[in-house]
Each structure stands twice: as structure tokens, then as C-alpha cells.
């Protein structure tokens, strides 16, 4: 009977879930990795918030989806500003003024967004981190009642999401 008592105690301790050194190490390592992941996510969110303050606006000529030298300069400035921020996602939104028909303006606004997207990708932005969409004459920056207003509406806006 004396020999079986220690065995019963050991069996009871293991049955009760006495954590082993391995289990404690595993739990500590899991907690450490979870804390590191949370810190990385917080840093990425802080970087996204900081990068959101940078916006580029590329203006286009009437009925055109070609970027001019001022547009390239604007996009290069934007890229320089967001370069320090890893893992940001970019939205490009193309627009038109109100002079064309919806059937004409919708594809033109898409082309404007896509040409800007293509340029950003050619300069190192990951294609997985950028989206481009056209919105025709929706969301005008200025009223479409004058040429200066219409000029401001023929644009592509580039923002960090």
C-alpha cells in the first residue's frame, strides 16, 4: 500500500492539470508573440493615420487621361511623403467635369484613375496595395459653372485609406 500511495498522488496531480514546464514556456511564448503582434498592428495603424494627411490631386486637360509634368511632380511628391510608411493602402479616384455625357465621362474617369494607378505601381507601389475607380462627375471639387471650376473637377485624387 505504501508504494501505491505516491503513484496515486502523482496521478492525481497530473489528472488535475498540473502545468508542466513545457506548458508554462509555451503559454509565456504565446503571450509574448501575441503582445508583439498587437504592437505591430498598433504601429501600422499609427503609420496609416500619419500617412492619411498626404493627398495628391492630379488635374487633366479636357477629354484627356494623360498626366502632365505638374501631375508627375504631384505624384512624385506624394510618393516621397508616404515612402516611410510601410504597408499603407492607396485609393485613386478619377473624376470629370460635367461637360460630357455620362456614357463618355464614366470611362474617362476610370482611365484617369487607372493611369495614375499605373504610374504609382511603376514607381514601386505594390499592385495589391492600390485601388482605382472612376466616379465621372460625382463629388465635384468646385461648381461646374465656370472654366476654373470645371478644371478643378477634371482630376484624380490619391489618398491613403
Q: For residue 148, what is the domain's CATH number?
A: 3.30.1330.60
- pTM across the whole model: 0.75
| pLDDT value, residue 139 | 92
Q: Give the mean model confidence (pLDDT) for residues 12-40.
A: 81
**Number of domains making up the chain:** 1
Full domain range(s) for residue 100: 52-160
- Whose grid coordinates read 513545457? 22
CA distances from 129 to 114, 121, 124, 126, 160 (A): 14, 9, 11, 5, 10
Per-residue pLDDT of 113-152, as tens digits, reads: 999 999 999 999 999 999 999 999 999 999 999 999 999 9
Q: Is residue 1 part of a domain?
A: no
| pLDDT value, residue 7 | 62
Q: Is residue 16 part of a domain?
A: no
Q: Is residue 59 part of a domain?
A: yes
Q: Is residue 10 part of a domain?
A: no
Q: Is residue 126 part of a domain?
A: yes
Q: Is residue 2 part of a domain?
A: no
Q: Is residue 5 part of a domain?
A: no
Amino acid at each position: 500500500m505504501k508504494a501505491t500511495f505516491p503513484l496515486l498522488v502523482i496521478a492525481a496531480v497530473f489528472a488535475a492539470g498540473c502545468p508542466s514546464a513545457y506548458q508554462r514556456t509555451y503559454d509565456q511564448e504565446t503571450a509574448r508573440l501575441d503582445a508583439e503582434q498587437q504592437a505591430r498592428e498598433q504601429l501600422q495603424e499609427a503609420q496609416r493615420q500619419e500617412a492619411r494627411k498626404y493627398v495628391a490631386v492630379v488635374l487633366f486637360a479636357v477629354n484627356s487621361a494623360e498626366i502632365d509634368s505638374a501631375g508627375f511632380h504631384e505624384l512624385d511628391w506624394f510618393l516621397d511623403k508616404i515612402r516611410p510608411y510601410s504597408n499603407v493602402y492607396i485609393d485613386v479616384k478619377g473624376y470629370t467635369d460635367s461637360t460630357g455625357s455620362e456614357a463618355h465621362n464614366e470611362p474617362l474617369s476610370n482611365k484617369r484613375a487607372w493611369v495614375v494607378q499605373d504610374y504609382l505601381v511603376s514607381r514601386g507601389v505594390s499592385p495589391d496595395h492600390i485601388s482605382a475607380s472612376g466616379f465621372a462627375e460625382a463629388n465635384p471639387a468646385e461648381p461646374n459653372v465656370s472654366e476654373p471650376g470645371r478644371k478643378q473637377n477634371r482630376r484624380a485624387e490619391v489618398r491613403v485609406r
